[in-house]
Chain A
Amino acid sequence: MSQSDTRRNLGLALLGSEITIVFRRRRNQAMLLALAAVPILIAVAVRLSSNTSGRGPAFLASISENGLFVALTALTVSIPLFLPLTVGVVAGDTIAGEANLGTLRYLLISPAGRLRLLLVKYAGAAAFCLAATAIVVIAGVAIGAALFPVRPVTLLSGDTIDGAEYAVRCLLLIAYVSMSMLGLSAIGLFLSTLTTVPVGAMAATIVLSAASQILDVLPQLAWLHPWLFSHYWLGIADLLTSPISFDSFQSNALLQLGYIAVFGTLAYGRFATKDVLS
C-alpha cells in the first residue's frame, strides 16, 4: 500500500471516530435534545392556550388548524438563535477543544496530516449542522401530528400540497437550513484554530452570528447585506411557495461556499503554521 493510500484510510477512520465523538458527547446530545424541545414547547403552548391572536412568529396561527405547521414554526424560531448557538458551540470546539484537553498533539502524531485533520473536524461540525436542523423538523412533524389534526398544507402562495409533496419540501428545508449553517461553522473552525480556550472560540462564533443578523436589518448598510453569511437564513419562504423557487437556495449556496473557502483557507493557514504545544 502506498503512503497516500494509508493516509487516506487513516483520514476515513479519523472521520468515523470524529463523527462518533461529536454525537456521543453528552453536551452535544443535550443540545440536540434542547433543539427537539423547541417544536414540542411551541406545540404544547398552542394546544394549551385558546388565544389565537394574529401576532407571533410566522405560521404560528396555522398550527391549531394543521399540525404540520409546527415544524415550520419551530424552524423559523430556531434559525436566528438556537441553531447558530448550538452550531457555534460545536464549531468553536473543533480544534480548541482538543488543544484544551491536551489531545491535539496526539492527533497530530498520526500521519494523517494537519489538512486532513482540519477537514475531518469540519465534516464533524457539518454533520452536526445537518442533525440539528433535521431534529427540529422531525420533532416538529411528530409532535404536530400527535397533538393537532393533519391536513393538506397551504403554502404561502395559497396553493395546497399533499403529504408526499410536504415531505419533499421538509427535506429541502433541512438541506437549506443546514447548508445555511456551514458558513458559520467555517468561521467557528477558524476561530477555533486561534486559541486553546474552546469557550472563547464558541462565544466569538455566536457573537459573530448575532452581529451579522443585526447588521442585516440596518437599512443604512444595504450594500453589505448580500455579503453577510446570515443574509439568506430566512430565505426558506422560497421553498414554501408554488411554483417552488430555488433563487435563494442558489444564492445561499454560493455565499456559504465563499465563506467556507475564505475561512477554511484561513483556518488551514493558521493551523498548518501553528506550533502545537498542547
Chain B
Amino acid sequence: MPSKWTRWIPAALVPIVAVAGVVLIPIAADATPALPEKSPQQLLEFIAGSADAQYSGTVEQSSHLGLPDLSSLGSSYRGGAGSDSPVSAAVELLTGTNSARVFVGGPDTARIQVTDTLAERDVIRNGAEAWTYDSKTNAVQHVTATPGTRPDTGATRTPAELATQFIDGLEPSTTISVTETARVAGRAVYQLVLTPDDDATLVGSVILSVDSETGLPLDVRIFADGQSDAAFAVGFSSIDFSAQDASLFNFTPPAGATVEEHQVDGNSDTAPDKGEFTKPEVTGAGWSSIAELPAGTASDLGDSEASALLDQVLVPVTGGRALETSLVSVFLANDGRVLVGAVAIDQLQAAAAQ
C-alpha cells in the first residue's frame, strides 16, 4: 500500500496542469507572425478590397475612459424592461464591456446581435430593407429605403483610389505607419498606426489591425495620450470566414411584436425622424477639432434618468459643467451650449468663450 501522502499527488498536480494550460497555450501561438511587408498605401488598398467579404464572428467592445462604472444606473433590472434613452445607451457604450455577434453576407447584407444577460438586440440589413428587434420590449422597427438615384459613391471607386483619398484626408495632421504584425482572434494581422501630429489632442494613437489574408479590419484600438491600455477598443474575439446562409438575413417579425414602419427616401441624406437635429458647428482642424452644439441641446437630453446619470459624471468648472475622460471632453456651458472634442477641458472653455 502506498504511503498516505502519495494520495494527495493528483490534487496537487491538477491545478498546476490547469494553470499551465491556461497560461502556456496562448504563449505557444506566435505573437508576431512573419508576413510579407506592406506599405501603408498597400495596406489601405488591401482593406478597401475586402468590402465584399463574408464572415461571422464575435465582436467585443471595451472602454477605459476613466469614467465611474454607471452600469447599475444606466440599465434597470437585467432581463426586465430595458431603458431606451439615448443617454443610457451612450453610458453603456462608454463604460464597461459589450459583446455582439456579427454575421456579414456581403456588402449589403449583415446581421448584428448585441447580447446581454438573457436579452438580445438585433439589427438586420438585407439590401434596401433593414430591421431592428429588441427582445426585452418585443419591438420591431422596419426601415425600407425607396430605390434612390443618388450615385453610390463607394462602389464605383477602386480600392487604390479609396486608399489614396483616405491618406490624402489624413496626411496633413497625421503620421501613418505600419508597425509589427500581431494576432487578433487567432489570425495574423498587420497593424496600421495613425499618430496625430497635433499636440493639443488627447488622442495618442489609433491602431487598426488588418487581417493578413482577407484585408478585413479585425480590431480598432484608440489610445489616449500617455496610456498603455486602449481607452476605446472594438474588435473581433473570434472570426470565421465562411459563406453565410441567406436565411439569416430574411427577418419576419415574430407574432405579437409591435412593428414600426419607417420609409427612407433613397435620394435624401437625412434620416426620417431627425428633422429637428441641428448640425454642430465645428471649429479647429484635424484631431483637435471642437464641435459646438447650440444652446438648448443640454436640456433636450431631458428625462430624469438621463439627468441623474449626467449629475453623476459632470463636475462643475468655470463657466459651466464638464466631463473629462481620457479621450474626449464634454463641456456644458451655463448658457446651454455643449462643446465636445478630443482635447482638454480648458481648450473647450476657451472655445466657448470666443
Contacts and interface: CB of A to CB of B under 8 A. Distances in A.
Given A261-B14, A273-B7, A241 B69 contact: no
A55 B80 CA distance: 5
A156 B256 contact: no
Given A157-B113, A219-B71, A262-B15, A237 B255 contact: no
Interface in B104-119: 113, 115-119
B71 A54 contact: no
Interface in A54-70: 54-59, 61-62, 65-66
B274 interface: no
Nearest to A272: B7
Interface string B158-171: 00000000000000
B77 interface: yes
A159 B251 CA distance: 7
B135 interface: yes
20 contacts: A53-B81, A58-B80, A58-B118, A59-B79, A66-B256, A156-B119, A156-B135, A158-B131, A158-B257, A219-B69, A234-B118, A240-B118, A241-B113, A243-B103, A261-B14, A262-B11, A262-B18, A265-B14, A269-B9, A269-B11
Interface size range on B against A:
35 or more
Nearest to A114: B7
The 4 closest A-B CB pairs, nearest first, are: A58-B79, A158-B133, A54-B81, A154-B254
Contacts of B77: 55
Contacts of B13: 265
A100 interface: no
Contacts of B40: none
Q: Which of A219, A262, A269 has the most CB of B within 10 A?
A: A269
A108 to B, nearest CB: 14
Interface in A212-255: 219, 234, 236-238, 240-241, 243, 245, 247
A65 B118 contact: no
Contacts of A157: 113, 120, 122, 133, 135
B173 interface: no
A53 B148 CA distance: 42
A65 B133 contact: no
Contacts of B116: 237
A77 B22 CA distance: 32
A152 B253 contact: no
Given A58-B79, A219-B71, A241-B120, 19 more contacts: A54-B81, A58-B117, A59-B118, A61-B138, A66-B256, A154-B254, A154-B255, A158-B135, A237-B115, A237-B118, A237-B120, A241-B101, A243-B248, A261-B14, A262-B11, A265-B11, A265-B13, A265-B14, A269-B9
Contacts of A76: 79, 118
Interface string A118-136: 0000000000000000000
Contacts of B277: none
Interface of B: 4-5, 7-11, 13-15, 18, 58, 69, 71, 76-81, 96, 101, 103, 113, 115-120, 122, 131, 133, 135-138, 140, 238, 245, 248, 251-257
A34 interface: no
Contacts of B120: 156-157, 237, 241
A53 to B, nearest CB: 8
Contacts of B79: 57-59, 76
Interface in A141-198: 151-152, 154, 156-160
A23 interface: no
Q: Which of A66, A152, A156, A160 has the most CB of B within 10 A?
A: A156
Nearest to B97: A222
Nearest to B103: A243
B253 A158 contact: yes
A82 interface: no
Q: Which of A54, A157, A247, A273 has the most CB of B within 10 A?
A: A157
B255 A152 contact: yes
A258 interface: yes
A66 to B, nearest CB: 8
B255 A268 contact: no
A266 interface: yes
A266 B11 contact: yes
Contacts of A65: 255-256
B251 to A, nearest CB: 7
Contacts of B119: 58, 156, 237
Given A54-B80, A55-B77, A237-B115, A158 B251 contact: yes
